[in-house]
Amino acid sequence: MTSKNFLHFSLAVFFLLASLARVQSQTKAEQIDQLISRYNEYGMFNGSALVAENGTPIFKKGFGMANMEWDIPNAPDTKHRLGSVTKQFTAVLILQLVEQGKLDLHTPITKYLPNYPETAGDKITIHHLLTHSSGIPSYTDFPNFFNETSRDYYSPADFVKLFCYLPLEFMPGEKFAYCNSGYFLLGYIIEKVTGKNYATCLQENIFTPLQMHNTGFDVHQTILKNRASGYEKTGNGYINAPYLDMNLPYAAGSMYSTVEDLLLWDQALYTDKILSAKSRTLMFTKHIATRSSHYGYGWDLDELPNIKPGATISITEHGGGINGFNTIISRITTDKHLVVLLNNTGGAPLDEMNIAIRNILYGKPFEMPKKSLAKTVYATINEKGLAAGLAQFKALKNADGYSLKEGEINAAGYQLLMSGKTAEAIEMFKLNVEAFPKSGNVYDSLGEAYLKAGNKKLALVNYKKSVELDPTNENGKKVIAELSGK
């Protein structure tokens, strides 16, 4: 090695060591701030965040805009729609009624809803509804639900009629299948048993006792101070999220809150303030296995080894997604750590962010985000055409500064499909098949695009491949039967 090269090598080592020293000297809060700021810079997070260690907040901050029209920034007290994080609150109301002797978890729901069809209702219990094991079709999977039905007002009684007469997809208790209809029914049962509306029950039994003054049931007509607007990413910009009548998510997803109020909620779940120890044990019991972990009552439950030296940590968490918003609350109950991420631009990689923050809390290495290749290519297709986008994908797919993720490619494909660019969507989904050939979901999406293009032959080929790789794909099986004339 020449003296010149040795000098260059020595300088490189020096700067590397200096960089590592800076990272090691950073506080956890500084590392979290740097991490989320990078996600925000890359257009991958826009919202509010809070992280607590041993029950004490060490980081809370807003990123990006709560309202883009008026340049109003997100803050820790910004109110975000929670989506399915609502389900854990519904579960608490149910367990409170069980404590009061007004409900039984294992009694058929027809006892509380006498007009519910007996053929299904006599087989389904509240336990089945709480654990997504009822077999009731989920209304959010109905064709045109988001494009048409979701914009209209329905009373709980009227909306239940849209799914209560449908045949069960499987026998209650047989397996886990995420179901918004089940939690909608839980809200309706709460109203029938108490004689009060669901929103009032939330307020009187949870929000007021816990002084959660910035949390409630979201009503579009209400003038609500500090409410974030919901947006969706499109190309390199954003659009306002489609309108949704908030009576329809109901007990499955109609709440709003702040990261600060969700810390109050988290801390209360370690006490008897709103639930007895017996009921909390029921809530956090692993009642049924899911694809990746287990489900309690309104919570995903998991245990992770090798995060904390010599110990396994227990994770209690749940995500949410609703027009323009996605959210996560993750409780590390072993050490009373908490991560809350509330995003108002939809589709943020919150699970990935949550894992990185968890690693920071335990002093583990974590990955900084990379630019999304799928979003970059999507923008290029919109601006310069399909050929330019495909060429860009080929040039950058192995580049260090870009990440290639199945979910992001899939989302970009559906954005193209929904905007009428079916040919472009097919090519995007084909890229996903090429990159992730062992995923049943990528073939399902490609099949759907071919079906929309009128190519039933290729649609059938891809749906069959999807079901072959993922035998739990019930919708794929239905489409295959329809295309095969069976």
Q: What is the predicted pLDDT for the residue at 486?
A: 62
pLDDT at res. 234: 79
Of 376, 454, 385, give the one whose Cα is nearest residue 424.
385
Q: What is the pLDDT of residue 472?
A: 87
326 vs 234: which has the higher pLDDT:
326
Over 80: is that where the pLDDT of 22 sits?
A: no
pLDDT of residue 24: 52
pLDDT digit string (tens) for 209-244? 999 999 999 998 999 999 999 999 876 789 999 999
For residue 10, is pLDDT > 70? no
The per-residue pLDDT of the chain, averaged, comes to 93
What pLDDT score was predicted for residue 252? 98
3 state SS for the chain: CCHHHHHHHHHHHHHHHHHHHHHHHCCHHHHHHHHHHHHHHCCCCCEEEEEEECCEEEEEEEECEEECCCCEECCCCCEEECHHHHHHHHHHHHHHHHHCCCCCCCCEHHHCCCCCCHHHHCCCEHHHHHCCCCCCCCHHHCCCCCCCHHHCCCCHHHHHCCCCCCCCCCCCCCCCCCCHHHHHHHHHHHHHHHCCCHHHHHHHHHHCCCCCCCCEECCCCCCCCCECCCEEEECCEEEECCCCCCCCCHHHHCEEECHHHHHHHHHHCCCCCCCCHHHHHHHCCCCEECCCCEECCCCEEEEEEEEECCEEEEEEEEEEEECCEEEEEEEECCCCEEEEEEECCCCCCHHHHHHHHHHHHCCCCCCCCCEEHHHHHHHHHHHHCHHHHHHHHHHHCCCCCEECCHHHHHHHHHHHHHCCCHHHHHHHHHHHHHHCCCCHHHHHHHHHHHHHCCCHHHHHHHHHHHHHHCCCCHHHHHHHHHHHCC
- The model scores a pTM over 0.95: no
Domains of the chain (ranges, CATH numbers)? 81-361 (3.40.710.10), 372-484 (1.25.40.10)
Percent of the chain with pLDDT over 70: 94
pLDDT tens digits for 407-461?
889 989 998 998 899 999 999 999 999 999 999 999 999 999 999 999 999 999 9
Average of per-residue pLDDT across 154-183 = 97
CA-based nearest residue to 181, from 196, 200, 165:
165
pLDDT digits (tens, 9 = 90+) for 238-270: 999 999 999 999 999 999 999 999 999 999 999
CA separation (Å) from 164 to 92, 130, 234, 343, 410?
Answer: 24, 17, 36, 33, 32
Q: Does residue 4 carry a pLDDT above 50?
A: no
